[in-house]
Structure 1
């Protein structure tokens, strides 16, 4: 079973690691092997010191000592033994310094590996479509990007290295003991190995179950906290704080119990191994008393065994914990393989530029989320560049879906979307999105400065001041900036807590302008605003159309559409009519 889990894990790791990192991993293992040899040499160097304490004529009895004594012409045995002890001490210091350097390299390698997989998972999620993000909880995604790579590196890779490293140490020590007295090895095999085998078989499956449960429970803690933080006002108004508190308590108790069991299983190997070794030492002592007449030999036997046990105990303990970890964190392979080997066509496709100088044409577009229910049915219309087009209809009529198709987040089930008669495809979708600005009803605001929010995704030191000023001017943000304590460098708070609704919408418009959008889509952007603020936003939008900007406005309020050149009314996924604002007023949406 041990060989099985090791072989399976090694194969999975080999297939998962990229070629460039496999070389680093191999180099790391060579360094650790060398460190293991130094550990054994350091341990072996202590043995002569023990023998010096047990035997008076140690130099005469040991050929190597006698040869060294004569080679360097020592004046006395005392001088020889003192210098030998000092050299052993110096070697131990040098060995430990070297070990620290190797551990530093190991930490560096681990961080490199963690960074690689975390970034790879982040990129894999960036390649997912909008439908995916609408159907998955953010806490699960955050867990996959941050916790899964960490658990893989520290509980799979490092545990694997630990097992191989400690295995070498244990084998060398056992060979050394065997050469000294084969019976000692026999005692170890008879009394320690069966205990460890039984323990591993009992613990392995339970440990795996605990880790899988923790992987499922930990995100639930964050989900409940996010729900309370973002629903704070509703929680207060509905007096439902107790509900969230009890939910947190329930998940916290579950996670705490699992972590407690995990800690117990981590500590258990030490006690099990100690029991096995103490049983062996007792048997060795009894064996010596009953069958060996030379008491000095018994003391030497026990000293050698105790010295070996001093090093074998932590090695076996680390190996057992690592084996249990390997079994418990196998689930990380599933997540890493699923995401890192998922389709990344969008990121690898040859990108082609697409121009927008004349019109957007929607040609017989139909769309459905599944084969049973259609959201849009044979929709066709044309939008001229530098025009303002309104989109209206009841909730569920398909307005937001149509916008997501225009932005390239969904692909039509049938029909096509053309920009200047060029079909919108995977290869040109990135170019098309760069020409678009999208302002939602609830504009997302970073916990950052006004400048950083407008230049969304641009490092602070690379923000273009002229471009920023132009965007703020066209979005009518100048007055807002003048009232902020630090101007464009004012931090706007978490999710824009310092802003009014109208200010948030202006920032959304300025963001689109900063990034050079030539098509601006306002999705219910003014529906939550008062009439005065809505009129100010509409005035700003009109000025944009005069500055070579094409605008699409999705709205419920008819007044929002008064400046539109044409208005498209959707009903049950179909175009009911395309009309002017005057026609809409005369015969409004039913």
Structure 2
């Protein structure tokens, strides 16, 4: 528990830690009011049991005189009213404390989610080649909520309740050491035994909840992403069955943990009430049925028990929740630490400053993590400014990897990438990206308007309509947009389902052009289109030849016929380069592949 608290505090921001320390003052004030409410009941019950104490007890008599009461009953009324005021004050401070602590925990949890989202969004692209994106979604959507509701909230509740238990226990010990020791010991031992019995089951449940939550997110991600294929193949039943199976395990683990959080309460109520009955009988026997002596003790310990039982239950329930959900925090801990270190500190946003010049790769080598062989091996090539370059080769030859290096998504293991006289590095990467546009085979089209998709990532109020129109003109998209009833404000649906594949790719090209890119990179951008649509898209690209530097990975050879230079890559190496006609006549493999798809 202490190790968890230490680690949790370490991943908090300095501001979050400061707020937590300030809240401790409120926790202590609340605990003091709880003690005062218990303390006040003793004198009140003593007077109820023996009204003559108003005259015989010096302290009570002085209070009687100060109160201005005209008789003993009126004084008893004032004392009772004072007790109620203290109890009401204790209740209000407890409510305020719990509210403040709960809001604090909720805000910290929300900020954890914000930090993780920013961390994941800004991670190097290479990280995404080794992880499942559904797991990242699960961490933010599910694990952060588990940490908020079942780690942070219980911890702050335990914090408040332990302070209450400590202060009340000290008071009742001073009031009657023997009864206090027996009572508090019974509660502590009983809850400790109960927690020892269930803690292993809770830990197992927590791991199952994490595991099967991840599995359900993966199934949703894969199922919804391949809905057409599933329905055509008739394989929906497999995903449905696996989702149901994982749901049953998830529900069983979740329900079991919730039951174990709350069940001890009813047993402990029996223990406490039985102890109170035993205490009453013991006191009556000890004091020979003298109610004036018995009532104060019963009142103090009755109210103390009334305060302590829910506090002990909340401590137990919180500890049980922590045990069951610590796996959620463990799954986020390293990422939160990395987010804290500033490793993914935001780089500069887009600006008009750019790196411009011919591209030159000198002896570039690259290997993916976990791979034994280089994906790219000692590649050298040059891309003149405003030229059109094609990159072709068999599947798995390293074409897309080379393009990812050119756009700065992957960092090379050795060699140099020069833009003009500047070597690309992490310090000038933003300047390089300011001048490039990228179009993939399946560019994301979000559920928004055409203008929002072209000016992707900008608020509607920040969209420059002049730049937007210029981009759509170059992508030969403007006439189609203006023919629509709502023009640029036309909704395209999730993944652009309401428009054709050709229009989706034109929107992606316009997006790449929106920031006045000097370099355009196409990663098999037309391979999923039919021949007629592909030809139209290629004509749009051809119209930009000589105006932009264009680099394209080709799926069909007819799309690269007019390139100024073509690089043929095989097994991570450039094995031939030249114009289309030169390669047809000089390279048998290129000639063979030119007859069909790459």
TM-score in terms of structure 1 length: 0.91
Q: Paired residue for 1:347?
A: 345
Contact 1:355–1:419 (8 Å) recurs in 2: no
Q: CA deviation at 1:250?
A: 0.3
- 2:328 and 2:169 map into 1 onto residues whose CA distance is 34
Contact 2:39–2:300 (8 Å) recurs in 1: no
- 2:159 and 2:99 map into 1 onto residues whose CA distance is 19
- 1:265 and 1:192 map into 2 onto residues whose CA distance is 17
Q: Paired residue for 2:300?
A: 304
Q: CA deviation at 1:92?
A: 4.4
Q: Paired residue for 1:220?
A: 215
Q: CA deviation at 1:36?
A: 1.9
Q: CA deviation at 1:469?
A: 1.4
Deviates more, 1:417-426 or 1:330-339: 330-339
- 1:415 and 1:354 map into 2 onto residues whose CA distance is 25
User: Which of these residues, 300, 310, 331, is aligned with residue 314 of structure 1?
Assistant: 310
Contact 1:124–1:344 (8 Å) recurs in 2: no
Aligned ranges 1:369-518 → 2 under 5 Å: 369=368, 370=370, 372-518=372-518
- 2:592 and 2:393 map into 1 onto residues whose CA distance is 7
Q: CA deviation at 1:270?
A: 1.0
1:250 paired with 2:245, answer yes
Q: Gaps spanning 5+ residues in structure 2: where?
A: 594-598
Q: Paired residue for 1:13?
A: 8
Q: Paired residue for 1:588?
A: 591
1:330 paired with 2:326, answer yes
Contact 1:393–1:556 (8 Å) recurs in 2: no
The residue matched to 1:390 in structure 2 has which SS? strand
Q: CA deviation at 1:61?
A: 4.9
Q: CA deviation at 1:552?
A: 0.9
- 2:283 and 2:344 map into 1 onto residues whose CA distance is 73
The residue matched to 1:396 in structure 2 has which SS? coil
Q: Paired residue for 2:596?
A: none
Question: What's the RMSD between the two structures over aligned residues?
Answer: 2.7
The residue matched to 1:394 in structure 2 has which SS? coil
Q: Paired residue for 1:545?
A: 545
Deviates more, 1:59-68 or 1:422-431: 59-68
Q: CA deviation at 1:551?
A: 0.8
1:140 paired with 2:135, answer yes
1:165 paired with 2:160, answer yes
Contact 1:273–1:316 (8 Å) recurs in 2: no
Q: Paired residue for 1:579?
A: 578
Q: CA deviation at 1:440?
A: 0.8
1:113 paired with 2:116, answer no
- 1:302 and 1:89 map into 2 onto residues whose CA distance is 18
Q: CA deviation at 1:96?
A: 4.0
Aligned ranges 1:120-135 → 2 under 5 Å: 120-135=115-130
Contact 1:481–1:487 (8 Å) recurs in 2: yes
Q: CA deviation at 1:371?
A: 5.8
Contact 2:518–2:549 (8 Å) recurs in 1: yes
Q: CA deviation at 1:51?
A: 4.2
Q: CA deviation at 1:398?
A: 1.3
- Say if 1:108 and 1:286 are closer, same or farther in 2 by CA, change over 3 A: closer
Q: Gaps spanning 5+ residues in structure 1: where?
A: none
1:66 paired with 2:61, answer yes
- 1:20 and 1:38 map into 2 onto residues whose CA distance is 28
Q: CA deviation at 1:399?
A: 0.7
The residue matched to 1:576 in structure 2 has which SS? strand
Q: Paired residue for 2:231?
A: 236
Q: CA deviation at 1:251?
A: 0.5
Deviates more, 1:336-345 or 1:222-231: 336-345
Q: CA deviation at 1:190?
A: 5.1
The residue matched to 2:356 in structure 1 has which SS? coil
- Say if 1:182 and 1:116 are closer, same or farther in 2 by CA, change over 3 A: same
Q: CA deviation at 1:28?
A: 0.9
TM-score in terms of structure 2 length: 0.90
- Say if 1:563 and 1:9 are closer, same or farther in 2 by CA, change over 3 A: same
- Say if 1:263 and 1:135 are closer, same or farther in 2 by CA, change over 3 A: same
Contact 1:366–1:413 (8 Å) recurs in 2: yes
Contact 1:359–1:420 (8 Å) recurs in 2: yes
Q: CA deviation at 1:260?
A: 1.3
The residue matched to 2:534 in structure 1 has which SS? helix
Contact 1:192–1:280 (8 Å) recurs in 2: no
Deviates more, 1:135-144 or 1:55-64: 55-64
- 1:257 and 1:174 map into 2 onto residues whose CA distance is 38
- Say if 1:588 and 1:344 are closer, same or farther in 2 by CA, change over 3 A: farther
User: Which of these residues, 273, 285, 290, is aligned with residue 278 of structure 1?
Assistant: 273
Deviates more, 1:494-503 or 1:482-491: 482-491
- 1:388 and 1:143 map into 2 onto residues whose CA distance is 42
Q: CA deviation at 1:511?
A: 0.8
- 1:246 and 1:562 map into 2 onto residues whose CA distance is 49
- 2:415 and 2:228 map into 1 onto residues whose CA distance is 44
- Say if 1:227 and 1:324 are closer, same or farther in 2 by CA, change over 3 A: same
Q: CA deviation at 1:417?
A: 1.3
The CA deviation string for residues 344-389 of structure 1, in whole angstroms up to 9 with x for no partner, is 5463789999854330011122222256222222222111111111
- 2:337 and 2:83 map into 1 onto residues whose CA distance is 52
- 1:441 and 1:91 map into 2 onto residues whose CA distance is 70
Contact 1:355–1:420 (8 Å) recurs in 2: no
Q: CA deviation at 1:519?
A: 0.9
- Say if 1:393 and 1:589 are closer, same or farther in 2 by CA, change over 3 A: farther
Contact 1:350–1:427 (8 Å) recurs in 2: no
Q: Paired residue for 1:39?
A: 34
Q: CA deviation at 1:86?
A: 4.1
Q: CA deviation at 1:520?
A: 0.8
Q: CA deviation at 1:395?
A: 1.0
Q: CA deviation at 1:512?
A: 1.1
